[in-house]
A and B are shown apart, each in its own frame.
Chain A
């Protein structure tokens, strides 16, 4: 018979013990829909003065590169080797021990060897060796070196946009190589050729123009906050007048713009306003520093600094004493790990002291910015807030540590302390999936684009798998977190892998349980769903 047997038809079955091809010989990469982001639009690149501004389509053969693109990349590598000692060291010292190889959520979810952090970095290292090391120049392939050609460039692009810079791999590296930093540099090099993604370059241009990724203009932001306050009044009976661009306020509050427009972030934004109103905090929103997140960080350090400056300058203009930052991920990485390198310690702000409890936030002595979870945990610790935890009794909560706030800056206890104080039912996911070993949501570092839903689903699978475990074991139905990207990416991830688990910010849980002075009897939560026991009313 001419027909093959079904098991013969599944032609990728391979029982050989050793790979039949060396990784260098597996080019070109195949761009399948669902696994790559759309290319950047010229207008967005042009707006911020990025090089080679033109529309760029990933699946087209011609990426419309400048003629001397190869020299641009090699010169870019040279400059960065000279400028960043860490990059130079990371290029040289990897012994390919493989400790990182099975730690990446994209590798765990795909089995694609080029998603092993070691091999992802090797994609760039091989080019480095060829052009910058004697061994590579002399022995070429035998020394793990390869020429930079268009297929290699496309491969670099494909895999550096399959890394969420979550740094889980770096935790396991005996040399402390931070593969996320290699991705950061890799993306910088690609950016020199205008090879950015639409999902990143659009928000960067928006942020540069209006102060936030979504392009919300001042009047829109004001109306949005007022709309939220109308809802707060309907739920609690308390009228809040949100302070905006208030000069001389004690504190500037900055949060990612996702909290202003996207569900479920908006409930967190309502929560911030309720909390600050309840304690009578002298604070202000800013319509200029209206974005805590920083997609510039996913293009180049210069662009990250350029976008970050608005917060710094706005704090100066409004003459605030210090800053509170909302629940965000990479915003905190930028503040915590890059801000001081860019500006040095902030000299025009004061060391943050909670006006309510008198607590000095000594950890923020240099940056003058306090995380909302640190601030809230301190309020709770001092007994400032009163809670009716039973309002959250319909929720069985677990906490997802966001990569940036956990591995990037060590915030582990505060959100857990808060959740335990506002919810009666809290369960941890297994140890190897939380705290510093947390698994990424699969959509960080600008990879939360809709067109890569398949990639997000498989990258987020290790996280979802741990949620599924606590969902089945303890009935967990709410996945709390302190990151706006998480709030955007985890709902579809849960829908796919663990239906029945919803997603919320921690402050939303606080605001639901918080008994406010002068509030009416609450029957609804911030999502306008009936509170437990109030279903009939």
Chain B
């Protein structure tokens, strides 16, 4: 059986194991709450992580290009970028997905074939790192923007600074 077929067959187990391992990175007392993944609005973290992991696994099964992984990874990483995690913990959940994949596949796939497959999964970590940095930079961007929004208006109104006015566009 090809890896793809095997993945399709074991999709449910892989998704649920990946989700469980990722949720296990949260405080023990909160894990049962986060696992209620159907509550879209009252448990947005559990819901979004579950949905995104499902998409990631489906994309792996369908052999989608790496760009298609950005959106589901972004959903998870931007949540973890503002939670109590070190940067490595924030994106390290990908190794947990990898572990779930390995556990389900290792008995039925040739070692070299499995190694090649899992090495490709590693590339998601690089994508996740870019996303993590994007959102951490966003936090500092928001901090500075908030400061500017609170002060720039005053400087302009009090003529402490003077801006070049917009020119009306000339029309023929």
Contact = CB atoms under 8 A, between A and B. Distances in A.
A29 B153 CA distance: 39
Contact of A6 (B26, B33, B95, B147): B95
A285 interface: no
Contacts of B2: none
A7 interface: yes
Given A262-B149, A263-B153, A453-B142, A111 B27 contact: yes
B113 interface: no
Interface in A484-517: 491-492, 495-497
Interface stretch (A272-280, A287-295, A460-468): A460-468
Contact of B41 (A10, A13, A465): A465
A20 B44 contact: no
Contacts of A110: 83-84
A22 B2 CA distance: 48
A108 B25 contact: no
A contacts with B: majority SS: helix
Contacts of A66: none
B123 interface: no
B43 interface: yes
Interface string B119-160: 000000000000000010011001101110110011001100
A453 B154 CA distance: 23
Nearest to A497: B78
B41 A430 contact: yes
Interface string B18-29: 001100111111
A21 to B, nearest CB: 9
Interface string B26-46: 111111011000001111110
A234 to B, nearest CB: 12
A253 to B, nearest CB: 21
B37 to A, nearest CB: 13
A18 to B, nearest CB: 7
Size class of the A contact interface (CB-based, 8 Å): 35 or more
B44 A224 contact: no
Contacts of A492: 142, 145-146
A102 interface: yes
Contacts of A458: 79, 82-83
B21 A19 contact: no
A497 B139 CA distance: 11
A457 B139 contact: yes
Given A262-B150, A430-B41, A496-B142, A111 B26 contact: yes
A108 B149 CA distance: 29
Given A107-B30, A263-B149, A102 B84 contact: no
Contacts of A496: 78, 135, 138-139, 142
Contacts of B42: 102, 108, 432, 462
A35 B89 CA distance: 17
Contact of A454 (B40, B139, B157): B139
Contacts of B135: 496
B14 to A, nearest CB: 15
Interface string A105-128: 001111111001000000000000
Nearest to A465: B44
A227 to B, nearest CB: 5
Contacts of A466: 41
A453 B28 CA distance: 25
B52 interface: no
Contacts of A111: 26-27, 30-31, 33-34, 45, 83
A7 B96 contact: yes
B153 to A, nearest CB: 6
Contacts of A113: 27, 29-30
A9 B92 contact: yes
A471 to B, nearest CB: 14
A19 B41 contact: no
B84 A32 contact: yes
Contacts of A6: 92, 95, 98
B120 to A, nearest CB: 15
Contact of B27 (A112, A263, A432, A462): A112
B44, B93, B145 pick with most chain A CB within 10 angstroms: B44
A14 to B, nearest CB: 6
Nearest to A8: B95
B172 interface: no
B147 A450 contact: yes
B162 interface: no
A495 B146 CA distance: 11
Contacts of A34: 82, 139
Contact of B143 (A20, A109, A112, A450): A450
Nearest to A537: B168
A261 B150 contact: yes
A42 B97 CA distance: 50
Nearest to B139: A453
B46 to A, nearest CB: 9
Interface string A441-462: 0000000001101110110011
B15 to A, nearest CB: 17
A369 interface: no
Contacts of B84: 32, 35, 110, 112
Given A7-B95, A263-B149, A263-B153, A469 B78 contact: no
A263 B150 CA distance: 7
B25 A457 contact: no
A113 B28 CA distance: 9
A492 B92 CA distance: 27
A510 B5 CA distance: 59
B99 interface: yes
16 contacts: A10-B25, A10-B93, A32-B84, A102-B33, A108-B44, A108-B45, A109-B83, A113-B30, A116-B29, A262-B149, A430-B41, A432-B41, A433-B41, A450-B143, A462-B41, A495-B145
Given A32-B84, A113-B30, A458-B79, 11 more contacts: A7-B96, A12-B89, A13-B25, A15-B24, A112-B27, A113-B29, A262-B150, A266-B153, A455-B82, A462-B42, A465-B48
Closest 7 CB pairs of A and B: A111-B30, A6-B95, A465-B44, A113-B29, A10-B92, A111-B26, A492-B142
Interface of B: 20-21, 24-31, 33-34, 40-45, 48, 78-79, 82-85, 88-89, 92-93, 95-96, 98-99, 135, 138-139, 142-143, 145-147, 149-150, 153-154, 157-158
